[in-house]
């Protein structure tokens, strides 16, 4: 097995950052992106690497040299004419010879274990190659892949438009409850790939596309195995993505063994958020009482301009907030933000947040839903909100690649989620993915709202959530976003341990005025302890003894930076205490 890394592009979206550096040489965690990729490939046992260079080629070539520093053998080829990803691999044809090879772009970051997983998948059958995919991304920005029952590629659609996505649904390619698989940009091929790249014609945008060669392979009945990337996948496409990665690294905490933090509250396998847009009347008359009866909370993304025609009034919103539901922003006037200059986007985003904070007590406006699901300038959005919702129809992974682009499923007559079965199927997809399912709802029954859902359908979904509370953590959009950010930033460290008590500190370096949602932790129950009770800052917190793989654990909810946590030996199994306060 050999490898080709495509690193020829300047990366124009990086703007001035790539004036002197090729994009793959931008630094992340103190070293070039490309170095992370090389290290991962070498760790998988692939040591013969060919790097396709182009813009500022000498920077890459001088940095890596012959590859000995990385225990590799590295060769280079320069793509003089930047004419697409389809022709670039041909520079390595002689280097590859008759060997299969791993092919990746030089700006894709994945967990290092991805590469050996690809090799194992390739070895499972007589495959012409492996194509990696991920879920939870906006398919309009990349390739959308369809697989057969053996998870082998049947079709690839490059950067489908919204209209194409709807046609794919009508034609049965995009099925209700089935994930949409986004091309992750890392492959394994046999040298037969070059037979197909040699016949490529330029695409409408004037480039030779690797995806066209892949489609030709499928048409020729070449068997390409699919592999879902486990863990986080990041396309470092622009300065905002790079800055976000660095910010997350600076905030990352550490969890000392034997403690664990649940991916979701209560170590449930999935998070579910019901979000409601546009202030339709039955959201207040029907949905809120329905959720209250089950003890669930929802999010109301509210258009708060008095002349918008969608403003429900502060009294209704305050009553909902008093019952624990989230009041979040859907802007002032519901414009298409993508068509506005930055100054007007700022006005819409800032003023709506300010209005909610001035009129709604007991909570802060932290999240946004983009009108028409058209994203605003991410740099502006992130100044005011911790997360923003789109509607690309994907299950959100446990750690989203971009908090300013959280996907959701449009519900009702105009969306893919129309029946109770559809709701439940999407929720179970989230369980399989250990992810977050966000529902987007407008009208209910005949209240005049867009894409109405019937009361019976919504009730059926809520009943299913209530019956399966061990599987689904139903929570507001904002609280799920806070939980993820806190979980990833949290540090857990024991400060003392005695025969009958353990003291630990749970901290993060996030703003306590915003990030004060409880996290669920667990640790093995100490030997000879029949049970345990837990307190934080001298107040009892929710705790219980659970069995995990035939071993007893104490599981408890605590707030980062909420004071010392004391786990005390207890003679009897206890009932859970009240949950910690959430401000």
pLDDT of 583: 38
- Six token digits for residue 195: 């037979």
Asked whether 36 and 27 are in contact (CB, 8 A), the reply is no
pLDDT at 333 over 70: yes
Band (pLDDT 50/70/90 cuts) for residue 247 is low
Of 140-149, 496-505, 533-542, the least confident: 140-149
pLDDT at 266 over 80: yes
pLDDT at 250 over 70: no
pLDDT of 316: 97
Give which of 38, 41, 8 is closest to 23, Cα–Cα: 8
Give which of 348, 339, 408 is closest to 381, Cα–Cα: 348
Q: How far apart, in whole angstroms, are the C-alpha atoms of residue 41 and residue 113?
A: 9
> Pick the residue with more confidence: 25 or 264?
264
Task: Write down the mean pLDDT value for the chain.
Answer: 90
Q: How far apart, in whole angstroms, are the C-alpha atoms of residue 99 and residue 191?
A: 7
pLDDT digits (tens, 9 = 90+) for 378-387: 889 989 999 9
Band (pLDDT 50/70/90 cuts) for residue 578 is very low
**At 314, which helix (H) or strand (E)?**
helix 314-322
Distances (CA, A) of 74 to 4, 70, 405: 10, 9, 37
pLDDT at 452 over 50: yes
Mean pLDDT score, 369-394: 91
SS3 category, 187: strand
pLDDT digits (tens, 9 = 90+) for 83-113: 888 999 999 999 999 999 999 999 898 888 8
φ/ψ bin of 400: left (φ > 0), alpha (ψ from -120 to 50), beta (otherwise)? beta
Mean pLDDT score, 243-247: 71
Q: How many CA atoms lie within 13 A of 329 on its CB side?
A: 31
Give which of 226, 231, 213 is closest to 180, Cα–Cα: 226
Band (pLDDT 50/70/90 cuts) for residue 537 is very high
At which residue do the structure tokens 């958020």 appear?
273
Q: How far apart, in whole angstroms, are the C-alpha atoms of residue 11 and residue 108?
A: 13
Mean pLDDT score, 391-415: 90
pLDDT at 288 over 90: yes
pLDDT at 581 over 80: no
Q: What whole-number percentage of the chain has pLDDT above 70?
A: 93
Q: Bridge partners of 501? A: 568
pLDDT digits (tens, 9 = 90+) for 128-145: 999 999 875 666 667 888
**At 388, which helix (H) or strand (E)?**
strand 387-389
Number of H helices, E strands in the chain: 16, 30
At which residue do the structure tokens 């009770």 appear?
533
pLDDT of 134: 87
At which residue do the structure tokens 């698989």 appear?
181
pLDDT of 203: 87
pLDDT of 9: 76
Asked whether 415 and 453 are in contact (CB, 8 A), the reply is no
- Six token digits for residue 141: 């920005």
User: 33-43 and 57-64 are packed helices; what angle lies between their axes, rounded to 10 degrees?
Assistant: 40
pLDDT at 463 over 90: yes
pLDDT at 59 over 60: yes
Mean pLDDT score, 153-180: 80
pLDDT at 249 over 80: no
DSSP secondary structure code for residue 178 in this structure: P
pLDDT at 582 over 90: no
SS3 category, 211: helix
- Domains of the chain, with CATH numbers? 2-248 (3.90.550.10), 269-483 (3.20.20.370), 490-570 (2.60.40)
Distances (CA, A) of 26 to 16, 29, 33, 489: 12, 10, 6, 24
Q: What whole-number percentage of the chain has pLDDT above 90?
A: 70
Give which of 429, 84, 447, 448 is closest to 439, Cα–Cα: 429
> Pick the residue with more confidence: 237 or 415?
415
pLDDT of 580: 44
Mean pLDDT score, 206-226: 93
């Amino acid at each position: 097995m050999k490898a080709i890394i495509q690193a020829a592009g300047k990366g124009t979206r990086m703007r001035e950052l790539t004036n002197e550096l090729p994009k793959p040489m931008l630094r992340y965690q103190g070293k070039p992106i490309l170095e992370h990729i090389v290290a991962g490939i070498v760790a998988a046992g692939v040591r013969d690497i060919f790097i396709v260079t182009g813009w500022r080629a000498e920077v890459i070539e001088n940095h890596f040299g012959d590859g000995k520093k990385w225990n590799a053998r590295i060769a280079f080829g320069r793509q003089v004419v930047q004419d697409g990803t389809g022709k670039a691999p041909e520079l390595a044809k002689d280097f590859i010879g008759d060997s299969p090879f791993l092919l990746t772009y030089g700006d894709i970051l994945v967990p290092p274990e991805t590469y050996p997983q690809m090799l194992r998948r390739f070895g499972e059958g007589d495959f012409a190659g492996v194509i990696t995919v991920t879920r939870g991304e906006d398919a309009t920005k990349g390739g959308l892949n369809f697989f057969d029952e053996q998870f082998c590629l049947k079709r690839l659609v490059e950067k489908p438009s919204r209209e194409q996505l709807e046609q794919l649904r009508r034609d049965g390619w995009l099925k209700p409850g089935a994930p949409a698989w986004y091309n992750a940009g890392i492959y394994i091929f046999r040298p037969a790939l070059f037979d197909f790249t040699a016949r490529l014609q330029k695409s409408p945008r004037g480039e030779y596309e690797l995806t066209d060669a892949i489609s030709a392979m499928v048409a020729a009945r070449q068997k390409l195995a699919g592999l879902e990337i486990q863990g986080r996948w990041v396309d470092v496409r622009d300065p905002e993505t790079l800055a976000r990665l660095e910010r997350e690294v600076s905030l990352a905490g550490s969890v000392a063994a034997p403690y664990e933090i649940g991916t979701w509250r209560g170590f449930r396998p999935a998070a579910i958020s019901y979000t409601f847009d546009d202030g339709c009347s039955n959201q207040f008359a029907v949905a809120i009482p329905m959720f209250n009866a089950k003890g669930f909370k929802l999010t109301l993304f509210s258009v708060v301009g008095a002349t918008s025609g969608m403003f429900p009034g502060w009294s209704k919103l305050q009553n909902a907030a008093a019952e624990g539901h989230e009041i979040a922003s859907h802007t002032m006037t519901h414009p298409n933000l993508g068509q506005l200059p930055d100054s007007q986007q700022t006005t819409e985003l800032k003023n709506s947040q300010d209005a909610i904070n001035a009129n709604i007590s007991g909570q802060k406006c932290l999240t946004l839903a983009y009108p028409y699901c058209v994203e605003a300038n991410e740099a502006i959005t992130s100044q005011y909100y911790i997360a923003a919702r789109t509607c690309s129809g994907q299950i959100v992974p446990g750690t989203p690649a971009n908090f300013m682009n959280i996907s959701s499923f449009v519900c009702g007559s105009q969306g893919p989620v129309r029946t109770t079965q559809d709701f439940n199927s999407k929720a179970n997809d989230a369980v399989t993915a250990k992810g977050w399912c966000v529902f987007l709802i407008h009208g209910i029954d005949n209240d005049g709202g867009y894409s109405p859902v019937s009361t019976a359908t919504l009730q059926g979904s809520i009943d299913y959530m209530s019956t399966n509370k061990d599987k689904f953590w139903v929570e507001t959009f904002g609280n799920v976003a806070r939980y993820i950010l806190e979980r990833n930033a949290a540090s857990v460290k024991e400060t003392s341990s005695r025969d009958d008590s353990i003291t630990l500190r749970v901290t993060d370096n996030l703003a306590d005025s915003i990030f004060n949602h409880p996290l669920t932790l667990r640790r093995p129950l100490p030997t000879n302890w029949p049970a345990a009770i837990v307190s934080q800052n001298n107040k009892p917190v929710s705790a219980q003894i659970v069995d995990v793989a035939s071993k007893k654990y104490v599981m408890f909810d605590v707030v980062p930076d909420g004071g010392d946590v004391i786990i005390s030996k207890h003679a009897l199994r206890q009932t859970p205490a009240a949950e910690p306060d959430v401000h």
